[in-house]
Structure 1
Amino acid sequence: MDYDKARLKIILDLNQSPLQREGLVRVYLPVGYDQSNDTYPVLYMHDGQNLFYPGSDISGASWQAGDQLDQLQIAGVTTGIILVAIDCSVENEGLGRMSEYSPWPSAPPAELANWNSKKLGMGGKGDLYVDWLTRSLKPLIDQNFRTQPERDTTLIGGSSMGAVISLYAALKYPDSFSKVGVMSPAFWFAEQPIRQFIDQTGFRERLSIYIDIGTAETSDSTVSCFPDVYLKGARSLHQQLSQKAFIKRLCLNIDQGGLHSETAWAGRFPDMLCWLLDANL
């Protein structure tokens, strides 16, 4: 089964946004959208190039998100959901993505002190990205599609650095997002600033947060400690969040042998979505 290309709409060129860079925003509509007047929850996701089909992605694989959403809806697991897919930055050999997906400059843990990577010089543009997404893009989506715009039916999610910026967006704008998919979080990128930000939050709204991690994840196969860094980061994030009053529901899903890859995230995408929607596969 393949997704219905007629239900995949390109709605924005990011050159025309405050981000002022190459990229698109795509919207994938539920099965039967044009044949009904129903309204739908909305899921905002990052790294939009990776979500639909090989060839549009930047890594050689895709999440097959459209196909998976269709199957869940047809099976009656969900009643349909609108997916908003925002392309990531490919500027500076892809390092622009690291800057947009963190409001803080990189501050890796001691285990990565000797890691020589250009990624460690990135970060700091996350507020620009999150503010635009919440204040400009979300109203545009709500005005042009039959959404359920309330926070209780607005989700945000992503993987790796996309997981970091998803969590940050929900913590900064808890009146807009209630459910967060934090897949394979690159917690190591700015661990202490993230921890401090979580501790400083004092809002009354409550969040449902899904976290997952594979036991074999790495961002550099030559750095032997990376799988442990990823695993410890996800566990410590879960532990910290579990103590917060703003948590409504919290999950940590550990994928034995799971890699840091689009294929792994595609495999866990239905689990993430169903947990956040409190639906059963």
Structure 2
Amino acid sequence: MRYFIVLGVILWNTLSVNAQNQGKVFEAKTLESSILKKERHYSIYLPQGYDTSDMTYPVLYLLHPAGPRNTVPDHRSWLYYGELKHYLDNAIANGDIVPMIVVTPDANYGAKRISYFNDPEGDFDFEDFFFKEFIPHIEQNYRCRKDRDSKAIAGASLGGAAVIQYAVHQPEEFSVACALSGAVRKYDSQYLKGKYPNLSEKILMDWYKPYDVISFFENQPKDAEQNIKWYISCGDDDHLSPNNVMLHTVLKAKGVEHEFRIQNGAHDWTYWRGILPDFMTFISDSFRK
């Protein structure tokens, strides 16, 4: 009997310690967007100790992909497929990364498309929403630090492309940007006409100019001052690996310091889960400095 009592105490203490080392996740938070004219969802991770202190925390804005097939791409993707909470709880408890808030907005426009752009058809200006409504909402409602050195952005696939575009468009917002399997491309008439068949070539060309980050860097002077820590990663079997290599080559030619990874993997959650510790450590090291 005494053996079972002792065993029960040990088990209880173990569970209590584990619970104390866990952060909290809210999967379906909402805000009303006047820009998008609808309610928007997001998920947020608050590190262990958030409820019992008045500390402020650095914040990572983590963007979900538009796929892959047979997945539900929305604000919960990094939690469900990326096993984000499990990683964060363990990495923070072990001291591998600093405690931080991680927030994932939903860029899913129902049956139409997933988009982080200001839509060329004018009915889903997500980039305006992100900077004018979403970030202010997070900063007003959670104890996250607002200085640039305490803010990072990361994302996969279409979210990876948005990471680079957002950091280029608003360089004063983030100190570190991590693009994973980024869907970066120069202007591609066939690709864009397939997505927006009702728009003319001229409208699409003019609209896409701010989102063509490869051309943006090509037109930068060599060794121009950069104040963003860049991390770019892609799987070697990913159909987007040539595009990411092209971006790396341009950055290298222009003297833009960045970390670049081509590793074994495809365009899927197996790859993004696998590199989660690497890019999160990169972000955390930036926050520590």
Band of TM-score, shorter chain: 0.7 to 0.9
- Which residue among 94, 107, 130 is the counterpart of 1:88? 107
With over 3 angstroms needed to count, the CA separation of the structure-2 counterparts of 1:139 and 1:90, relative to structure 1, is closer
With over 3 angstroms needed to count, the CA separation of the structure-2 counterparts of 1:6 and 1:43, relative to structure 1, is closer
Match runs of 1:1-281 below 5 Å:
6-8=24-26, 10-13=28-31, 16-20=33-37, 23-47=40-64, 48-53=75-80, 62-92=81-111, 96-97=113-114, 100-102=115-117, 128-188=125-185, 190=187, 193-199=212-218, 206-217=227-238, 227=239, 230-244=240-254, 247=256, 249-256=257-264, 258-278=265-285
TM-score, normalised via structure 2 length? 0.71
Q: Which residue of 2 aligns with 1:117?
A: none
Q: Offset of 1:178 from its aligned partner? A: 1.4
**C-alpha deviations, 1:47-94, integer Å up to 9, x for none?**
2231112xxxxxxxx1011111111100101221101111121523xx
TM-score, normalised via structure 1 length? 0.73
**C-alpha deviations, 1:182-211, integer Å up to 9, x for none?**
000112374783322334568956111111
With over 3 angstroms needed to count, the CA separation of the structure-2 counterparts of 1:276 and 1:240, relative to structure 1, is farther
Q: Indicate the RMSD between aligned Cα atoms, in angstroms.
A: 3.0
Contact 1:102 1:126 in 2 (8 A): no
Partner SS for 1:232: helix
**C-alpha deviations, 1:215-267, integer Å up to 9, x for none?**
112xxxxxxxxx3xx2221111112223446x4x41111112x0111222111
Letter in 2 for 1:8: F
Higher mean C-alpha displacement, 69-78 vs 22-31: 22-31
Partner SS for 1:147: coil
Q: Where does structure 2 lack aligned partners over 5 or more consecutive residues?
A: 1-17, 65-74, 189-208
Q: Offset of 1:5 from its aligned partner? A: 8.0
Contact 2:36 2:124 in 1 (8 A): no
With over 3 angstroms needed to count, the CA separation of the structure-2 counterparts of 1:197 and 1:20, relative to structure 1, is farther
Letter in 2 for 1:275: F
Q: Based on CA coordinates, which of the two structures has the bigger radius of gyration?
A: 2
Distance between the aligned counterparts of 2:109 and 2:23, measured in 1? 24
Distance between the aligned counterparts of 1:91 and 1:127, measured in 2? 11
Partner SS for 1:34: coil
Q: Offset of 1:29 from its aligned partner? A: 0.5
With over 3 angstroms needed to count, the CA separation of the structure-2 counterparts of 1:5 and 1:273, relative to structure 1, is closer
Partner SS for 2:173: coil
With over 3 angstroms needed to count, the CA separation of the structure-2 counterparts of 1:264 and 1:201, relative to structure 1, is same
